[in-house]
């Protein structure tokens, strides 16, 4: 993998700074230092700290979805959610950044639009893959999405591959049970 440059390097640096030290550590200087550039470059590319966070969250969500199979159409429940069960282990920094922003939104109402976009992106991806498999009941879609989100969060805090595999197997069985018979 090549070293990211420009905006991507700054977004990755933002993710690392927040994941490592939380939002209080996020400054133009800390991002610039992490990326190995001058702090003026951060302001030049993003203008405000909130714009930087917004783009970093969008970047993180897209990276996370790309590291799973939640963007490609599915024809078989046995592969649903591949890559999600160990997502937090493979890239803890990316996941920690996202959860830091979610938790910060409790006391920072200006983050609520970011949080809504976060949840919509993941829920929409899960709903699309479940729809591919014939599961369209919104309450089932929501339940599965909440399980996936909890699985990633739990993996970030206390990873257990066997537990993740068991949970994903049960989710896949639920999908098979909920999907209309194909014939």
**40-90 residue pLDDT tens:** 999 999 999 999 999 999 999 999 999 888 999 999 999 999 988 888 888
Q: Is the pLDDT of residue 181 over 90?
A: no
Q: What is the pLDDT of residue 54?
A: 93
Structure tokens at 162: 């066997």
Whole-model pTM: value is 0.89
Output the CA–CA distances (angstroms, integers) from residue 173 to 33, 69, 122, in the order listed.
Answer: 47, 17, 21
Q: What is the pLDDT of residue 44?
A: 92
How crowded is residue 14: how many other Cβ atoms within 10 Å of its Cβ? 26
Full set of structural domains in the chain with CATH? 6-178 (1.10.357.10)
């Amino acid at each position: 993998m090549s070293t990211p440059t420009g905006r991507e390097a700054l977004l990755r640096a933002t993710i690392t700074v927040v994941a490592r030290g939380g939002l209080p550590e996020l400054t133009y200087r800390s991002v610039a230092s992490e990326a190995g550039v001058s702090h003026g470059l951060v302001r030049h590319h993003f203008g405000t700290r909130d714009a930087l966070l917004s783009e970093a969250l969008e970047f993180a969500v897209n990276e996370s979805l790309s590291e799973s199979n939640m963007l490609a159409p599915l024809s078989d429940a046995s592969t649903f959610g591949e890559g999600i069960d160990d997502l937090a282990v493979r890239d803890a920094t990316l996941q920690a950044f996202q959860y830091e922003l979610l938790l910060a939104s409790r006391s920072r109402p200006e983050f609520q639009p970011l949080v809504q976009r976060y949840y919509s992106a993941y829920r929409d991806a899960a709903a699309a893959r479940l729809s591919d498999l014939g599961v369209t009941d919104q309450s089932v879609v929501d339940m599965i999405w909440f399980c996936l989100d909890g699985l990633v969060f739990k993996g970030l805090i206390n990873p257990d591959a066997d537990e993740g595999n068991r949970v994903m197997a049960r989710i896949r069985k639920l999908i098979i049970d909920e999907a209309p018979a194909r014939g």
